[in-house]
Amino acid sequence: MAQVPQRFFDALAVRTWCGLSLRALGRAREEIDAINVYPVADGDTGTNLYLTLESAVAAVEAVFAAHEVDESPRDAAEAPPDAGDGPSLADAVGAMAHGALIGARGNSGTILAQLLRGMAQVLAARGDSAHTEGPGLRLALRHAAASARQAVAHPVEGTVLTVASAAADAADGVEGDCAEVARAAYEGARAALAATPGQLPALERAGVVDAGGHGLVTVLAALVETFTGRAPGPVAVPHARVAHGGEDRAGAARACAAAEGHGTQQERATDEGERPPAFEVIYLLEAEDAAVARLRPRLDALGDSLVVVGGDGLWNVHVHVDDAGAAVEAGVEAGRPYRIRITHFGHGDAHTTGTGRPPRERTQRAVVAVVPGEGLAALYAEAGATTLLARPGEPPASGELVQAVRRAHAREVVLLPNDAELRHTAAAAAEQARAGGIRVALIPTRSAVQGIAALAVHEPERRFDEDVVAMTSAAGATRHAEVTVAERQSWTTAGICQAGDVLGLIDGDVAVIGADVAQVAATVLDRMLSAGGELVTLVLGDEAPPDVADHLEARVREAYLAVDTVVYRGGRQGALLLVGVE
């Protein structure tokens, strides 16, 4: 990461800012989590902001890797290049915005994604320009604040929206370079953050500033560091009525907010004798603008804390509701939802404290699985697993896996990554969860069909070690294959394939190249069953031919006695067909 101060806001400055912001949020994450009392006191604002920005950083790094950029820093006094092999400013900010959008977590992360998108819209509109200076940065900050406010169904003052507007207002009065604009925005945001307890009763009662606003000030401090080479001093966070120490402080703040009412929507619900919504629903949505315009009022009627961000056919939807299914169904009617995350607000938040409900006890054991399609997610959930939906080509980060493990709310967790490429990521997530006191066993499943086999023998009543051994044995005894379509010409273990060829992969290696899906699938199945088998599992993707399952079932019946076949619909899973043979 270049530490030399950047003079202009160009692609390298975007990269530097994102990296410094992620590092700063990593340091401040626990403190921000600890003061999270609004809109829901669930203590995860800092973590959600970190995960959102982690996704943005990954997208920016991917753009630089694709351009094979020389990472040596430029001299600050050097004039910005107008041409070269590196990504343009539009490329970098576009990647930043897209990465944040697809990785946005929680209410705060979703708003941060829209702030970054708002900046990107202004900066990318500058065409082929390799950089922008102070005036361009001022316009970007103004548009970011306005677009974030528009994305929230019911904007509330004293939140990150107020802090963003104050930053833009402060920057408007500056005629200097990027460093001066960034410094003014930071100072304006910091002053607005200090004033948030006087604007939002929930914050005043808890004696804290707004957690999302604190996160934005942290990000703006990184912007100052990008252009000056020096980070501003740490943000002063009042904790007037909060005990010292991370978890104690968090619990005291949340207990205070929950016991005295939660302000605005939560407070009104308490005054009216109603219970606030119990679920947070988040999903990415592919839909047209007109469909999203119809979706907004429908979701707003179902619950609160509605934030819909995005555009150009891709949106991130966040809402708190009682009927999670209705929120997802509304998304299905509007377009194609995926990466669906449904979280029940659990022990210690405003939805369970002071409402007459007993705190939710941890279960003894849970299974957490990464799955590639909506159909498989439903199948795993029916079997009792906590699922994390992974879109093809966009594997989850370790932080998302840790969140899923925590969401399972169990003392013991069996983790099924269901992808060979996720082995190291899952191992890092398991280690982090263990540090938090959760006993985690990682079963290195390489395919969702191996995960199905492991889940089929899962028995929570058994001793943990015995259960893990049985699940590992079942997964290991299941050969896996997939049928997919080649995206480009490539060398494979079965020869050269062309774009559009149908590929049959067995245990991760290309074994068959053909032109017909049914024929390739049949050949794959024959090779797998030549070594014997008792059960064939077929998982059909959305784009698989409708008759391929019938064709394969008939082949198994006719050619392989005493072999059973089960068929599942996997949804949008990337591969046309997944095959498992036990």
Q: What are phi and psi of 536, to 5 degrees?
A: -110, 125
Mapped onto helix, strand or coil, the DSSP state of residue 566 is strand
Query: Counting beta carbons within 10 angstroms of the beta carbon of residue 430, is it exposed (0 to 12), middle (13 to 18) or buried (19 or more)?
Result: buried
**The Cα angle at residue 174 between residues 168 and 219, in degrees rounded to 5:** 45
DSSP string, 11-55: HHHHHHHHHHHHHHHHHHHHHHHHT--SS---S-HHHHHHHHHHH
Q: Tell me what pLDDT residue 194 has.
A: 92
Asked whether 224 and 183 are in contact (CB, 8 A), the reply is: yes
pLDDT of the residue at 350: 31
Supply 442's token pair: 């990682």
Spans in the chain with pLDDT lower than 50: 1-2, 69-83, 239-273, 346-360
CA distance 214 to 163: 9
- The confidence score (pLDDT) of residue 238 equals 56
- Kindly state the DSSP code that residue 37 receives in the 8-state scheme: -
pLDDT at 249: 44
Q: Is there a contact between 112 and 326 (Cβ–Cβ < 8 Å)?
A: no
Q: Which helix (H) or strand (E) holds 302?
A: helix 289-302
**Residues 56 and 110 sit within 8 Å (Cβ to Cβ):** no
CB atoms within 10 A of CB 181: 28
Is the alpha carbon torsion for 103, 325, 327, 273 positive or negative? negative
Supply the pTM of this predicted model.
0.61
pLDDT tens by residue, 241-281:
333 344 444 444 444 444 443 333 444 343 334 556 778 88
| Strands of 443-516, DSSP E | 479-485, 490-492, 495-497, 502-506, 509-514
Q: How far apart are CA 2 and CA 18, in angstroms?
A: 11
Taking alpha carbons only, the member of 456, 508, 520, 457 closest to residue 481 is: 508
Q: Return the pLDDT at 536.
A: 94
